[in-house]
Chain A
Amino acid sequence: MERIELTAAWAKGQEVLAEVTKESGVRASKCYQCGKCSAGCPVAFAMDKTPREIMRLVQLGLMDEALQSHTIWLCASCDTCSTRCPREVDIARVMETLRIIAKRKGSVAEKKMDLFHDLFLKSVENNGRVHELGLILGFNIYGMQPLKDAHFGPSMLLKGKLSPLPHTIKDNGEVKKIFANVRKRGGKL
């Protein structure tokens, strides 16, 4: 395993660390590495690093490694970690913030999951609401798996669970404005 030179890494990580602290409102130094977050995390089995290890990377300023991890994308935002943390560290919020920063930096370890969220928000921006059929179709086409879950389609349509056309709200101008205003304030959507 490669040896990490910690002082250089710390200096290099400062800028991103400051962003994480500011945007999440969480001081990573509060974490005492007990691992309760990872012990109860329902997605830990699929992660390349446990949530505790992500917190450790942040504590040491090893931000690139944190931002490149799959963990931050696999986090289901279920809040189990934050709920049980004995130091009241909002770990889920840190994961969320790291994801946002990773995306901003174009360092996306789970491209397909990211695509889903992009399409989701596109749908919200266009229609004011999510058009689930459009979202799934788009996701499958862009995700190069056009037939994924297709077998649900007919019965869903039949049960009235999927509408072929999006529900668009009348006041959608307002929602579009929300997106525009967030962009104006620096939001990268």
Chain B
Amino acid sequence: MKYAYYPGCSLSSTGVEYDISTKKVAKSLGIELWEIPEWNCCGASSAHLTDHLLALALPARNLAIAEEKGLDVAIPCAACYARCKATEVEVRNSKEMQETISAVIERQYTGKSQARALLDVFVNDLGLESINTLVNKPLKDLKVVSYYGCLLVRPPKLGFDDAEDPQSMDKLIEALGGTPVDWAFKTECCGAAHATTKSEVGFPMIEKILTAAKETGADCIATACPLCMSNLDMRQTQVGAKYGQNYSLPVFYFTELMGIALGINPQELGISKHFVDVSGIVKKLNEAAGRRDTA
């Protein structure tokens, strides 16, 4: 299995551990990721607020490079995925738009090369069974709420999962030996850049999600978006302080949980880069694995 790989800007900065864990996990699952050379920013989430054509042209350049290689593009970041998917569909559905876009990016893009969410690739192309057979350090007794975020499974007609009650990450957690915890905030929006640009709006949105996650009694949150990650992880203490809460709720990229379950050293996955301490969970999983080994 081979895909073009589009990490996106966040994965080389605030979301660097998503990039690290994605590459490690893909490697150990035998999925070849060909990083699009000299990829550019897809424009999320500013271009589409400024100019529709620019919002399509920026992702189109990356997709065009992948199309030249004959590869679909695996995209970890939910925001990048949403912009790329929108571009792919609009280009494929309109000959006129296809011509315009190709003229603007000065490359050919026909919509043949598809934007695929990394989660979709793992769960639906590789399959849960294959993943399950490779698990050697199951996420035993780890209760995880899956936070898909708003963009990963929308719009419903283009999505790879149910838009209201998506299941793929929950099923993945289960395949990794963990315990998925159902909740009602799987697709509630965390406010994206609002936490930075207008915190009085962004913070209450983050608070709602963290409170709901905490109420489920889960040990941690799994996510698939670097923007969600920075809102829920980096800003957790800040938001907690504002609302008088101590959430202490570790947040993982789903790829990090996959990496741990596949037996990759957690440190190699970049989890020390998190703001909320995850050592408790790592220790708990190690102990469980130790018990299993001795037993």
Is any CB of A less than 8 Å from a CB of B in the complex? Answer: yes
Chain A residues close to B by CB (< 8 Å) = 23, 42-43, 45-46, 74, 76-80, 82-83, 96-97, 99-100, 103, 110, 112-113, 116-118, 120-121, 123-124, 128-130, 132-133, 136, 139, 149, 152, 155-156, 159-163, 167, 169-172, 174-175, 177-179, 181-182, 185, 187-189
How many residues of B are in contact with the other chain, CB < 8 A? 57
Count of A-B residue pairs with CB < 8 Å: 168
Assuming the contacts A78-B151, A82-B155, asked whether A124 and B41 have C-beta atoms less than 8 A apart, the reply is yes
Q: Does B124 contact A (CB under 8 A)?
A: no
Q: Is the interface of A mostly helix, strand, loop or mixed?
A: helix
**A124 engages B49 (CB within 8 Å):** no
**B201 engages A46 (CB within 8 Å):** yes
**B13 engages A187 (CB within 8 Å):** no
**A161 engages B273 (CB within 8 Å):** yes
**Chain A: minimal CB distance from B150 (Å):** 4
Assuming the contacts A42-B188, A76-B192, A77-B48, asked whether A113 and B198 have C-beta atoms less than 8 A apart, the reply is yes
Since A83-B163, A118-B50 are in contact, a sample of 16 more A-B pairs with Cβ atoms closer than 8 Å, ordered by chain A residue number, is: A23-B52, A77-B48, A78-B192, A80-B150, A83-B154, A96-B52, A124-B58, A161-B14, A161-B15, A169-B40, A175-B58, A175-B61, A179-B54, A181-B105, A182-B54, A189-B50
Q: Does B43 contact A (CB under 8 A)?
A: yes
**Chain A: minimal CB distance from B230 (Å):** 9
> Interface 1/0s, chain B 43-57, versus A by CB < 8 A?
101111111111001
Q: Which one, B10, B40, B192, contacts A124 given CB within 8 A?
A: B40
**B194 engages A76 (CB within 8 Å):** yes
The docked-state distance in angstroms from the alpha carbon of A113 to that of B44 is 14
Q: Which one, B38, B104, B189, B208, contacts A171 given CB within 8 A?
A: B38
**A112 engages B197 (CB within 8 Å):** yes
**B46 engages A187 (CB within 8 Å):** no
The docked-state distance in angstroms from the alpha carbon of A161 to that of B233 is 13
Chain B residues close to A by CB (< 8 Å) = 9-10, 12-16, 38-41, 43, 45-54, 57-58, 61, 82, 100, 103-106, 150-151, 154-156, 163-164, 187-189, 191-194, 196-198, 200-201, 204-205, 208, 234, 272-273, 275
**B53 engages A187 (CB within 8 Å):** yes
**B197 engages A182 (CB within 8 Å):** no
**A169 engages B14 (CB within 8 Å):** no
**A182 engages B53 (CB within 8 Å):** yes
**A189 engages B51 (CB within 8 Å):** yes
Assuming the contacts A77-B192, A128-B41, A188-B51, asked whether A139 and B197 have C-beta atoms less than 8 A apart, the reply is yes
Q: Which one, B10, B57, B191, contacts A182 given CB within 8 A?
A: B57
